Amino acid sequence: QVTLEESGPTQVKPTQTLTLTCTFSGFSLTTSGVGVGWIRQPPGKALEWLALIYWNDDKGYSPALKTRLTITKDTSKNQVVLTMTNMDPVDTATYFCAEYSGSGFNDHWGQGTLVTVSS
């Protein structure tokens, strides 16, 4: 059974750095073709892809947010960490992590974590 779970702060202040952890089970990030990505969804708005990391440590970032994002993995802990710098109230959103198959996110998503950016 594949599971993913996001964890991190529920609230950060403007200009702070957000660090989110995705802890997963049921698959391995050492398996060829496997990736884990982060997606966010502001309240009432659409899904937005943020970052991806693959089994071979290749990484991809949304061009719009590339300068603020870093994605890393710890295969020994089955975790993927996303950091986003210089947080702003417009970054208030539910942040999801999901397993990526190479051509799309499959049916394995975390439940999401709501992050509010407010002073």
Partner 1 sequence: QSVLTQPPSASGTPGQRVIISCSGSSSNIGSNFVYWYKQLPGTAPKLLLYRNDQRPFGVPDRFSGSKSGTSASLAISGLRPEDEADYYCAARDDSLSGPVFGGGTKLTVL
* Residue 52 CB, nearest approach to partner 1 (Å): 6
* Residue 11 CB, nearest approach to partner 1 (Å): 19
Rank residues 12 and 71 by Cβ distance to partner 1 and give the closer one: 71
Rank residues 52 and 117 by Cβ distance to partner 1 and give the closer one: 52
Rank residues 16 and 59 by Cβ distance to partner 1 and give the closer one: 59
d(CA 32, CA 9): 32
Q: Count of CB atoms within 10 A of residue 65's CB? A: 16
By CB under 8 A, name the binding residues for partner 1: 37, 39, 46-49, 51-52, 60-63, 96, 98, 100-101, 103-107, 109-112
User: Going along the chain, which residue ranges are E strands?
Assistant: 3-7, 11-12, 18-25, 35-41, 48-54, 59-61, 69-74, 79-84, 93-100, 105-109, 113-117
